[in-house]
Structure 1
Amino acid sequence: MAVSHDREHGVAGFPATLLQAADAAIFVAAAAVSILSLVVLFLSLGGEVVVRYLTTQGMGWPSEMPNLLFPWLVMGGVVVAAQKGAHISVTLLLDMLPRRASRALLLAMQLLVAATFFYLAYIGLAVIEITGSEVYPVTGVSARWAYLALIAGFVGVGLTAVTTFLRLLITEDPRSVRAHVSEEEL
Structure 2
Amino acid sequence: MGGAGLPASLVTLVDTAITVAARVVAIGSLVALFLALGAEVVVRYLTTQGLGWPSELPNILFPWLVMGGIVLAAQGGAHIAVTLVLDSLGTAAARLLLLGMQIVVAATFFYLAYIGLAVIEITGSEIYPVTGVPASWAYGSLIVGFIGVGLTALTTFARLLMADDPRSVRAHVTEEEI
Q: TM-score, normalised by structure 2?
A: 0.98
Q: What percent of counterpart residues are identical?
A: 73
Residue 64 of structure 1 and its aligned partner are, at CA, apart by 0.2
**Equivalent position of 2:164 in the other structure:** 172
1: CA distance, partners of 2:108 / 2:6: 29
Could you tell me which of 50, 71, 85 is aligned with 2:77? 85
Counting only pairs closer than 5 Å after superposition, residues 115-126 of structure 1 correspond to structure 2 as: 115-126=107-118
The amino acid of 2:140's aligned partner reads L
Whole-angstrom distance in 2 between the partners of 1:97 and 1:70: 40
The reply to whether residue 43 of structure 1 matches residue 28 of structure 2 is no
Count of residue correspondences: 178
Can you give the 5+ residue segments of structure 1 that lack an aligned partner in the other structure? 1-7
Task: Tell me the alpha carbon deviations over residues 110-167 of structure 1, each in whole angstroms, 9 at most, x when there is no partner.
Answer: 0000000000000000000000110000001000100000000000000000000011
Structure 2 counterpart of 1:69: 61
Whether 1:185 aligns to 2:177 is: yes
1:30 to 22, 29, 36: 22
Partners of 2:5 and 2:12 lie apart in 1 by: 11
Q: In 1, distance between residues paired with 2:4 and 2:117?
A: 38
Which ranges of structure 2 fall in alignment gaps of 5 or more residues?
Answer: none
Query: Could you tell me how far 1:41 is from its partner in structure 2?
Result: 0.2
What amino acid is aligned across from residue 23 of structure 1 in structure 2?
Answer: D
Provide the C-alpha distance between the structure 1 equivalents of 2:14 and 2:124, rounded to a whole number of angstroms: 31
Q: TM-score, normalised by structure 1?
A: 0.94
Number of the residue aligned with 1:112:
104
Give the 4+ runs in structure 1 shifted more than 6 A: none
